[in-house]
Structure 1
Amino acid sequence: MKILEVSDSRTWSGGTQQVLLLCQELSRREEDVTLVTNTESELEKRGVASGLKVKPIRMRQDYDLLAAWKIRDLIIKEKFDLIHAHHPTAHAISLLAAKLSGIPSLIVTRRVIFKMKNNPFSKWKYQSFRINRYVAVCQAVKRLLEDYGVNHGRVEVIPSAVDLLRFNLSQDKETARKRWGILKEDIVVGTVGNNGWFKGYTYLLQAARIVTGKHPRTKFFFCGKGTEQMLIQAEELGLEKNVILSGFRTDIPDILACFDIFVLPSLQEGIATAGIEAMASSLPLIGTQVGGIPDIVSKENGLLVPRGNSQALAEAILKLLENPILAKNLGLAGRKMAEQRFSKEKVASQILELYQDSLNR
């Protein structure tokens, strides 16, 4: 089977990390996989550094005819059996390339739960018979696609994956915390993700004010692009001594090693890759009841709270702060869940099975 993976993303995110993990695992299994990336993208750099076959093609917007024609030429020249598109613009361009080349199978992954537009172009993009199967990363995304008119039998739920060897129990917690000036007696509540309104970080800051009123030694660690811009808001709440705003980081295993509790305060979310990585790091989770978060956070490994409710977030954090045995047991259960459901090996096997099924239909 000759596989072409396509992503238009220029920046690094949980989604691009998933594309790289999948390609690395397929390559390790000696599958014939080629990765098409946007030119000068972070995924291109990391794919090349990983030894993958990478073909950079400039992808500017949905229905970029020049990019679609270049992918069409690549499909015909290399005789690919299947194309798998991973981001919205790659989805549209790959759909054009599939139509132009006649490739047997087109798979599309959708990770977000933003509603699709109600226009003819969007309807063709999502409802086209040229798309053999969809990969939805959680049940909420599956429902979104089906409600938009995608045939029920074409949507398969396959979660995001984690490299378990990268996130492990042997991480040096003491050294990691020292780098950030975190003392042994400090409790660290943290989150990872690029700052945006839908991440709900404002509510977590408000919860931090409540928590630090009872436990002044608690630190709140925000890691992700744009988090450094939250300083003014933190100062207005009197939290400047209790927050760490790291900005964008690539050393996520070391960042997670600093944490005692991981929080997903999202107002809207597909499936949070960072939450799965926190599970693999044996951290107890607190998450909001939105999108795909209930797919990864349950009473077995954490606590669920209503979205947009800083008081509920604070109460959940305080419950784990004041019950360290409960927090530890939830964290260990989360690691076991990550091993059973979210390993890159298991997820890659599910996707390969989907590939084969789509070609056999």
Structure 2
Amino acid sequence: MPDGHPRIFHFITRLLKGGAEAKTIATVTDLDGYEFTVGHGAEYDSEQVNRLERTGVETVCFPLVRHYNPLTALPAVLSLAQYLRREQFDIVHTHSTEAGIIGRFAAAIADIPHVVHTVHGVPFADDRHHTLNRFVLGCERRAAEHTDRIVTNADVIASDYLHRGIGSPDQYTTIYSGIQLDVFENAGPATDLPGSRPRVVMIGRLADGKGFNVLLDAAEDICDDDVSLCLVGDGPLYETLSSEVEARGLDESVFLTGYRDDIPNVLAASDVLVLPSFREGTPRVITEAMASGLPVIATDIAGIPEQVADSESGYLIPTGDPDTLADRLNELLESPDLRTTMGRRGRERAQMFSVDTMLAKLDSLYQGLLSKSATDRLTR
């Protein structure tokens, strides 16, 4: 514990530009009084690594840690355990499914004093094969045996995990993902977005599970010359979605913008946020949209109902239901007054999700674990 600062190792499967990464980076760059190191798997964005390194946070790549690759899982556990044993961290804090399982087993082998795991999104979903769901469930149950605290982004996620037999109630803590609210409240609109207003926007990594086809199905019923839909983000589905938009004849109203680093300005230039995902945690982009004064239409899953007050700050819809999505979009697009009213209520609701509150709760969690270690040493 050099300079008296506890050493904490954060471990995440992929260090890309998603919500889980944003929460992790905010923690290690903004929470004072600790020495943080961030470990990540084979997939990473060099800009994210450079951002951490510039702030003095060491990063370590573990190339054997790969997204849903069981062949490399065991050697990844052994490699990480060797590293953790050598570095002797006070706390290991894992994030996401693969890193959470591999990291907690490795921490147990290395005899790390305290282990925390954050559930950023529920990995069990209808669009995944039942065998994979059963395998992940078994791993989660075993990994929970080696975890001091399990942090969820919503109360409903903790209830879901407990119902599935993962851990015990005393292990769970809910800490909402926090953002810098004022950045979104005060942003000016981007002037270079394609299409015209009213503008519907979906922001996120272009990957499976986000419901893009559901949105494109709905778009065929709502998009015309007066409405534009922007898919903001990058990812493995970019080319597929681009071809799909053209094949459906939607290229005059649906636009793929690629990755943008000015999300506050994108939201300020938009009128409705949609997120028809099949699996999520408590998506940061929903909080960002509410802070920007946008109504939100999102699926009624995981922690989203704790963010979006149905029929007040937006609408909750079933997964895989383009007809309901189109109906709700049409209601909002046809009524600027309804958009304004819901946006105002969403901005009020967003106060629950500030980054300062998130960091204070994480600090309290860490201090509680470290105090327990100190007490245990005194009583030996």
Provide the TM-score with structure 2 as the length reference. Answer: 0.82
The CA deviation at 1:101 is 3.9
Q: 1:52-63 residue pairs with structure 2 within 5 A?
A: 52-61=56-65, 62-63=73-74
Q: Deviations over 1:144-173 (max 9, x none)?
A: 32113311211122222212243233x221
Report what 1:247 is aligned to: 258
Corresponding letter in the other structure for 1:88: T
Match of 2:36 among 28, 33, 43: 33
Identity of aligned residues (%): 27
| 1:221 lines up with 2:230 in the alignment | yes
CA contact under 8 A between 1:284 and 1:330: conserved in structure 2? yes
Match of 1:144 among 142, 160, 172: 160
Distance in 1 between residues matched to 2:294 and 2:91, nearest whole Å: 38
The CA deviation at 1:254 is 2.6
Q: Which moved more, 1:138-147 or 1:64-73?
A: 138-147
Match of 1:81 among 65, 74, 90: 90
Q: Deviations over 1:205-259 (max 9, x none)?
A: 122221135xx31001111223453233223332110011112333322322221
Q: Which runs of 5+ in 1 are unaligned?
A: none
| 1:280 lines up with 2:291 in the alignment | yes
Distance in 1 between residues matched to 2:241 and 2:303, nearest whole Å: 26
Distance in 2 between residues matched to 1:85 and 1:190, nearest whole Å: 31
Corresponding letter in the other structure for 1:68: A
| 1:104 lines up with 2:113 in the alignment | yes
CA contact under 8 A between 1:188 and 1:260: conserved in structure 2? yes
Distance in 2 between residues matched to 1:10 and 1:149, nearest whole Å: 26
Match of 2:52 among 47, 50, 56: 47
| 1:300 lines up with 2:305 in the alignment | no
Report what 1:16 is aligned to: 21
- Number of residue equivalences: 344
CA RMSD in angstroms, aligned pairs only:
2.4
Report what 2:82 is aligned to: 69
The verdict on how the C-alpha distance between 1:194 and 1:55 changes in structure 2, with shifts beyond 3 A counting, is closer
Report what 1:291 is aligned to: 302
Match of 1:167 among 168, 184, 188: 184
Q: Which runs of 5+ in 2 are unaligned?
A: 66-72, 125-132, 373-380
Q: Which moved more, 1:134-143 or 1:35-44?
A: 35-44
Distance in 1 between residues matched to 2:141 and 2:202, nearest whole Å: 37
Corresponding letter in the other structure for 1:162: I
Distance in 1 between residues matched to 2:96 and 2:136, nearest whole Å: 19
Q: Deviations over 1:67-90 (max 9, x none)?
A: 221122112xxxx43221113333
The CA deviation at 1:59 is 4.4
| 1:356 lines up with 2:361 in the alignment | no
Distance in 2 between residues matched to 1:124 and 1:223, nearest whole Å: 36
The verdict on how the C-alpha distance between 1:201 and 1:120 changes in structure 2, with shifts beyond 3 A counting, is closer
Match of 1:113 among 94, 105, 122: 122
The verdict on how the C-alpha distance between 1:148 and 1:53 changes in structure 2, with shifts beyond 3 A counting, is same
3-state SS, counterpart of residue 199 of structure 1: coil
Report what 2:151 is aligned to: 135
Q: Deviations over 1:87-121 (max 9, x none)?
A: 33332343244324433211001112123534897
Distance in 2 between residues matched to 1:41 and 1:18, nearest whole Å: 16
CA contact under 8 A between 1:172 and 1:257: conserved in structure 2? yes
The CA deviation at 1:349 is 1.0
Q: Which moved more, 1:242-251 or 1:93-102?
A: 93-102
3-state SS, counterpart of residue 117 of structure 1: helix
The CA deviation at 1:131 is 0.7
The verdict on how the C-alpha distance between 1:25 and 1:13 changes in structure 2, with shifts beyond 3 A counting, is same
CA contact under 8 A between 1:228 and 1:247: conserved in structure 2? no
Distance in 1 between residues matched to 2:254 and 2:161, nearest whole Å: 38
The verdict on how the C-alpha distance between 1:305 and 1:131 changes in structure 2, with shifts beyond 3 A counting, is same
The CA deviation at 1:292 is 2.1
3-state SS, counterpart of residue 64 of structure 2: coil
Distance in 2 between residues matched to 1:88 and 1:224, nearest whole Å: 22
Report what 1:187 is aligned to: 198
CA contact under 8 A between 2:28 and 2:57: conserved in structure 1? no
Corresponding letter in the other structure for 1:321: L
Distance in 2 between residues matched to 1:181 and 1:222, nearest whole Å: 11
Corresponding letter in the other structure for 1:326: L
The verdict on how the C-alpha distance between 1:31 and 1:209 changes in structure 2, with shifts beyond 3 A counting, is same
Distance in 2 between residues matched to 1:30 and 1:118, nearest whole Å: 38
